[in-house]
Amino acid sequence: MRVLVYGSGQLAQMMYLAGCPLGIDVQAVDVNTETVVHPVSKRPLDVSLAQALESSDALTAEFEHVPEHLLEEASKTEKLFPSMNAILVGADRVREKRLLNALNVPNAAHQVVTYADQIEDCVSALGDQLIIKASRDGYDGYGQWRLTSEEQLPELKQALSSLDLQAVPLVVEQMINFERELSLIGVRDKEGNIQMYPLAENLHHQGQLHVSVAPAPNVSAQLQQKAEEIFRVLADGMNYVGVLAVEMFQCADTLMVNELAPRVHNSGHWTMTGSDTSQFENHLRAVVGLPLGDTSAIGPSAMVNIIGCSSFSRDLLKISGCHLHWYGKTVREKRKMGHINVTAASYVGLGEKLEELGKYVPAEYFPKLGREARRLKQIQP
């Protein structure tokens, strides 16, 4: 079997590694050059894109921002999973909000803005605590602005005045006073069967995910059930095939959807060592028609992103249950260079291992590590 992945970054690489034991040959498309490449070495393969489309059993994407003409070409083969429409939902916040509202999925009150002056109407309707997001191409904290008082309006309007809001509208959301961000990674196959992983708790710094802990501490059965009901509504509503990530805000016993990612997701990397079947393997299983794998957690796990640095000691591998996943990229500020998965038998044990991990990595690049280690060590069995 063969799967062609649009995008040639670390997610395609990890799909390739997950596919090898299953006998699934994963190839990747560099969407900038429209060249078929090896997902690990990135070397061009001796095959045209047209030939790769013909010879593949399934097509998929590692990120949402695939040029639409490529998605249209892939969609015509009827081998693209998830569908083009589902991928575009993840690429465009306006589409995403329309889907959430159409399916009655809780999300932040919002308005769509195509002129900077409309921000004043948003303040009247939603209040002066607002998050302003570019509808496309914004991620990891980019393409976002905050309004915390009306006094900031002139400065904000000035900042937005240079943008072409007709081409890329803004989604203006009411700021939510949430307790924490949770994400649910789930997978749906072509027959509508669904498997879901435990909720993960995500910790961010400067708009980027730094640490995910799964299963998220202090999650009741009722809260997990609410998250799973939201996932089912979304996955069934889109007739989705593959792994879908749903990011949610927890407000007491309520969950509100923040974002959707129609693909394998950073907050699901813990599944590579912390679950019976990784999100990458389950995605491949779904798109090629194999039975879905068990999504149970084998113990508390943490995924720690390595961002913008390569200067850490590989001696961290001395820690039991600690695994390094390196992406082989050139170092750049705020660039995800790799991640570290840590699994333990208890939250206290996980906290102790994260504390030990802190001895091998530069603290300035891992600002959430020490605090999270201390928090986990306080969780009683």
Tokens of 83: 């569908």
CB of 37 within 8 A of CB of 300?
no
Architecture of the domain delimited by 109-174: 2-Layer Sandwich (3.30)
Nearest to 187, CA basis, from 341, 68, 290: 290
Q: CATH fold of 2-80, please?
A: Rossmann fold (3.40.50)
Spell out the per-residue pLDDT of the chain, length 381, in tens. Answer: 999 999 999 999 999 999 999 999 999 999 999 999 999 999 999 999 999 999 999 999 999 999 999 999 999 999 999 999 999 999 999 999 999 999 999 999 999 999 888 988 899 999 989 999 999 876 655 688 999 888 888 888 888 888 889 999 999 999 999 999 999 999 999 999 999 999 999 999 988 999 999 999 999 999 999 999 999 999 999 999 999 999 999 999 999 999 999 999 999 999 999 999 999 999 999 999 999 999 999 999 999 999 999 999 999 999 999 999 999 999 999 999 999 999 999 999 999 999 999 999 999 999 999 999 999 999 977
- Crossing angle of helices 93-102 and 84-91, in 10° steps, is 110
CA-nearest of 127, 128, 172 to 150 is: 128
* Cis bond before residue 154 (omega within 30° of 0): no
Q: Are 165 and 115 in contact (CB under 8 A)?
A: yes
Residues 235 and 244 sit within 8 Å (Cβ to Cβ): yes
Strand partners, 224: none
Contact 246/257 with Cβ under 8 angstroms?
yes
- CATH 3.30.1490.20 residue spans of the chain: 109-174
Which part of the chain is CATH 3.30.470.20? 180-377
Range(s) of the chain covered by CATH 3.40.50.20: 2-80
Second-level CATH architecture of 180-377: 2-Layer Sandwich (3.30)
What type of residue is 145? W
Beta bridge pairs of residue 307: 336
Q: What are phi and psi of 78, to 5 degrees?
A: 60, 25
Contact 165, 235 (CB under 8 A): no
Return all residues near 170 (Cβ < 8 A) that are at least 6 apart.
112, 113, 114, 132, 133, 134, 135, 160
